[in-house]
Every structure is written in C-alpha cells, then in structure tokens.
C-alpha cells in the first residue's frame, strides 16, 4: 500500500487550526482508500523565529526534501516579525528551492455561497508565476536614511521562466474549457511584458486548439468583476497573479474559500499546498477560522499525488456541507463544527 509522507507546516495565527482540520480530513479519506498518510509536523513560524532567530533551520530545505508534499497553514505575524522576514525566510525559499514555479488558485462559487457578485456561473483557474518576475528579490537600497536614498526592485523575466509558466497555462486550458487569458501590462512595460506577449504568441501556434486572448491587468481586474463567466484559465506574472487571486478570492465569497497549490509541474521535486489566506491575527484563537480553504488545498494535494478519487471525495464532502449553509457565512460556525461536518459528509 502506498504511504505518502507529508510535511505539515501549521505556521502562525489561524494556520495551526486550519491545518489540523485539513489533516483530519486527509487521514479520514485515506482510511477509506488504498493509501496511507504520514505527517511530520514542523514548528516553523514567527514564534520559531523569535526563539531561534530563523523562520526555519539552516537545513530546512533538506528536511523537506524526500517528502511527498508540504501542507502549509499560514505564515506571518506582522506585529511580531516583519512580513519581509517571514516571507523571505520561509515561503519564498521553499518555492524557489523546489522549483514550485506554478501557483494555481481555483476560483468558483461553492454551492450555498453567494459571493458579492450574485453570479453563480464562473469557474476560473488562476495560474501565477511563482519564482521570478517582480518578486525575484533582485535589487537594493543605497544611501539609506538620507535625502539621496535610492531603492531599486528589479523584475526578472527569463525565457525559461516565462515559457514554462505559459506552457503550464496552455496545458491546463487544454484539460479544461480550452480558453487561456494571458495577463500583462505591455502598453506601459515595454520590455518584460512585450516579451511575455511574444512568448504567448509563439506558444499559441503550438496549442492551436486553445483560444488565447491577451489582456492588460487593469482590463482583467474589471473583467473578473463584470464578466467572470467568460474566463477559464488566467495566467499572469508573480505580482499580477498575486493581486488578481485576491480579487478571485473575493468574488468566490472570501478568503475562507480560496485554496492554492505551489506546483512543481514536472514532479522532479515536491509541491506545497496552502490556503490563500494569511494568519488572520484578528480572529486567531477565537476558533472561528473557516477551514474550507485549507481542506480544499488538501484535496488539491491528493489530486497532485494521483489520488484523484480521494481528492474528489473531499470536494464532494465540502460541497455537501456548504450546500446546506455550513461554513458559508463568516464567523457563524466554529472551525471544529465545520471540520466535523466535512468528516461526517465523507462517511
Ligand atoms: P497575508 O498578507 O499574510 O496574506 P492578509 O493581510 O491578506 O494576510 P489575512 O490574514 O488573510 O490577511 O486576513 C484578511 C481578513 O480575512 C481578516 O479579517 C481575516 O480575519 C479574514 N480571514 C482570513 N482567513 C480567514 C478564514 N479562514 N476564515 C475566516 N476569516 C478569514
């Protein structure tokens, strides 16, 4: 029987509660299937930083290597540790070390969730470049604190990076409804974004069965609100994808429903699965965090591992409970009650 070794990084704030909920669901679905799961819990978080001076140990990447996947809750607690440290000390190094270059986020309304647009017919898969672009970390500051201070943040777009994320987008479109929206700002950013558009057109010749449209980021933001039903796969750079997927989370009813995967699509190393939301310090310890985003992310993990039946069973259980209003209104149900309802629906 196949055993999957999963690294659990619960992190900060509501991270531990939603990760525990997701893990209970994974264990439950595995009991009825022909695979087993084994968790290694890693305490890497802002508290860990305050105790040790590092978000994760120096050999953190080595500790993760060899596992089948990472399931992460949320990392960050700005009042304790600046976001620049928590992000650059844990999430970004993991995404880069394991070449998790595709961040995918499904945006659709679960049954029973109304969403701010009152439209039930959209099903978007956002594909965000995850390792370079505007978040490459290249840059610097000089003359700090003086009137001559300069800050430079350089966006890096490589042919390899742009081509592989677009190719991944085309492949996803092929498996879905055959439509790809490529997002740039090539009217204003005439080097990197014109380059992105060119690579899109080159690949479009190879994927002639996929209908490709290029949008500017501002037009795409408007379209996601005004006509989300016209979109299928949306592929964008690191920064643009970051912003659009928060918009995607909003139209699907809020961060409690937004799941994500940081994929190494060629499967040469491990991938990481996490809800889109942060540590939500305002509701941490109240027991009301919605675990659905984390449970949905766990379903994406099983899907990626090839356990497609188990993944689908989790989604059916989530949809069964939201259809009767469980977990659809923020704060109305406790984390534990929603988790119990999913577990019951699984059986
Ligand atoms: P980050 O920058 O770390 O992504 P953020 O600033 O986007 O974090 P979050 O921590 O995601 O903020 O929280 C934003 C708001 O959404 C908060 O008011 C929080 O309470 C709410 N929220 C986030 N996740 C959940 C959840 N799972 N259940 C209920 N409310 C949530």
Return the closest-CA partner of residue 33 out of 325, 331, 309. Answer: 309
Ligand 1 contact via 17 beta carbon (within 6 Å) = no
pTM higher than 0.85? yes
> In whole angstroms, what is the distance from residue 25 CA to residue 326 CA?
16
By alpha-carbon position, which residue is closest to atom 6 of ligand 1? 278
- For the stretch 119-151, pLDDT in tens is 778 999 999 999 999 998 899 999 999 999 999
Can you tell me the mean pLDDT for 264-292? 95
In a domain, 84, yes or no: yes
Are both 134 and 221 inside the same structural domain? Answer: yes
Collapsed DSSP state (helix, strand, coil) of residue 285: coil
By alpha-carbon position, which residue is closest to atom 17 of ligand 1? 280
Please give the angle made by the CA atoms of 301, 305 and 306, to the nearest 5 degrees: 120
**pLDDT averaged over the chain?**
96
- Rounded to the nearest 10 degrees, the angle between the axes of helix 15-31 and helix 292-304 is 50
% of residues, the chain, pLDDT over 90: 94
Are both 135 and 241 inside the same structural domain? Answer: yes
Q: Which of 283, 288, 329, 335 to mutate to test the pocket of ligand 1 (most atoms within 8 A of CB)?
A: 283
218 is catalytic: yes
In a domain, 111, yes or no: no
% of residues, the chain, pLDDT over 70: 100
Can you tell me the mean pLDDT for 170-180? 98
The active-site residue out of 246, 334, 336, 337 is: 246
How far is ligand 1, taken at its centre, from the CA of residue 332, in Å? 16
In a domain, 66, yes or no: yes
Are both 213 and 274 inside the same structural domain? Answer: no
In a domain, 129, yes or no: yes
Are both 4 and 22 inside the same structural domain? Answer: yes
pLDDT at 129: 97
Contacts of 285 (CB under 8 A, 6+ apart): none
pLDDT band, residue 311 (cuts 50/70/90): very high
Are both 121 and 65 inside the same structural domain? Answer: no
Is the pLDDT assigned to residue 32 strictly greater than 90?
no
Is the CB of residue 318 less than 8 Å from the CB of residue 300?
no
Are both 286 and 217 inside the same structural domain? Answer: no
- For the stretch 187-234, pLDDT in tens is 999 999 999 999 999 999 999 999 999 999 999 999 999 999 999 999
Which domain-ending residue is among 233, 251, 269? 251
Four-CA torsion 249, 251, 252, 256, nearest 10 degrees: 50
Are both 234 and 213 inside the same structural domain? Answer: yes
Ligand 1 contact via 133 beta carbon (within 6 Å) = no
What token pair was written down for 175?
């498996």
135 is catalytic: yes
In a domain, 330, yes or no: yes
pLDDT at 27: 98
197 is catalytic: no
pLDDT band, residue 273 (cuts 50/70/90): very high
pLDDT at 1: 87
Is the pLDDT assigned to residue 328 strictly greater than 90?
yes
CATH number of the domain within which 138 lies: 3.40.718.10
By alpha-carbon position, which residue is closest to atom 12 of ligand 1? 278
In a domain, 286, yes or no: yes
> In whole angstroms, what is the distance from residue 25 CA to residue 61 CA?
26
**Based on the structure, what is the number of domains in the chain?**
2
- For the stretch 221-261, pLDDT in tens is 999 999 999 999 999 999 999 999 999 999 999 999 999 99
Are both 97 and 166 inside the same structural domain? Answer: no
Can you tell me the mean pLDDT for 63-92? 94
Is the pLDDT assigned to residue 330 strictly greater than 90?
no
pLDDT band, residue 264 (cuts 50/70/90): very high
185 is catalytic: yes
Are both 344 and 264 inside the same structural domain? Answer: yes
Are both 85 and 121 inside the same structural domain? Answer: no
Can you tell me the mean pLDDT for 111-122? 89
In a domain, 264, yes or no: yes
Chain-centroid distance of CA 215 in Å reads 22
Which domain-ending residue is among 187, 222, 251? 251
Range of the domain at 169: 116-251
Which domain-ending residue is among 230, 251, 272? 251
Are both 230 and 278 inside the same structural domain? Answer: no
Are both 264 and 238 inside the same structural domain? Answer: no
């Amino acid at each position: 029987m196949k055993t999957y070794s999963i690294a659990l990084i619960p992190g900060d704030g509501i991270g531990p509660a939603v990760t525990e909920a997701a893990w209970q669901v994974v264990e439950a679905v595995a009991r009825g299937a022909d695979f087993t799961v084994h968790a290694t819990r890693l305490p890497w978080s802002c508290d860990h930083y305050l105790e040790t001076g590092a978000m994760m140990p120096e050999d953190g990447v080595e500790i993760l290597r060899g596992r089948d996947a990472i399931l992460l809750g949320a990392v960050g607690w700005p009042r304790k540790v600046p976001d620049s440290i928590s992000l650059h000390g844990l999430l970004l190094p993991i995404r880069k070390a394991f070449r998790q270059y595709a961040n995918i986020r499904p945006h659709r309304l679960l049954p029973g969730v109304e969403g701010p647009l009152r439209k039930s017919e959209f099903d978007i898969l956002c594909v965000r470049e995850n390792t370079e672009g505007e978040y490459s970390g290249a840059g610097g500051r000089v003359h700090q604190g003086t009137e001559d201070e300069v800050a430079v943040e350089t966006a890096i777009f490589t042919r390899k990076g742009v081509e592989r994320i677009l190719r991944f987008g085309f492949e996803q479109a092929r498996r879905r409804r055959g439509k790809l929206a490529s997002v740039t700002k090539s009217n204003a950013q005439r080097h990197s974004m014109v380059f992105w558009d060119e690579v899109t057109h080159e690949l479009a010749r190879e994927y002639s069965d996929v209908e490709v449209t290029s949008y500017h980021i501002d037009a795409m933001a408007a379209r996601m609100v005004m006509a989300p039903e016209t979109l299928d796969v949306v592929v964008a750079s690191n920064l643009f994808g970051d912003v659009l997927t928060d918009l995607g989370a909003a139209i699907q009813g809020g961060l409690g429903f937004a799941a994500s995967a940081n994929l190494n699509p060629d499967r040469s190393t491990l991938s990481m699965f996490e809800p889109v939301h942060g540590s939500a310090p305002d509701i941490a310890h109240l027991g009301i965090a919605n675990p659905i985003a984390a449970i949905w992310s766990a379903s994406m993990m099983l899907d990626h591992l090839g356990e497609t039946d188990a993944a689908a069973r989790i989604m059916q259980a989530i949809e069964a409970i939201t259809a009767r209003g469980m977990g659809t209104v923020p704060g109305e149900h406790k984390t534990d009650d929603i988790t119990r309802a999913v577990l019951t629906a699984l059986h």
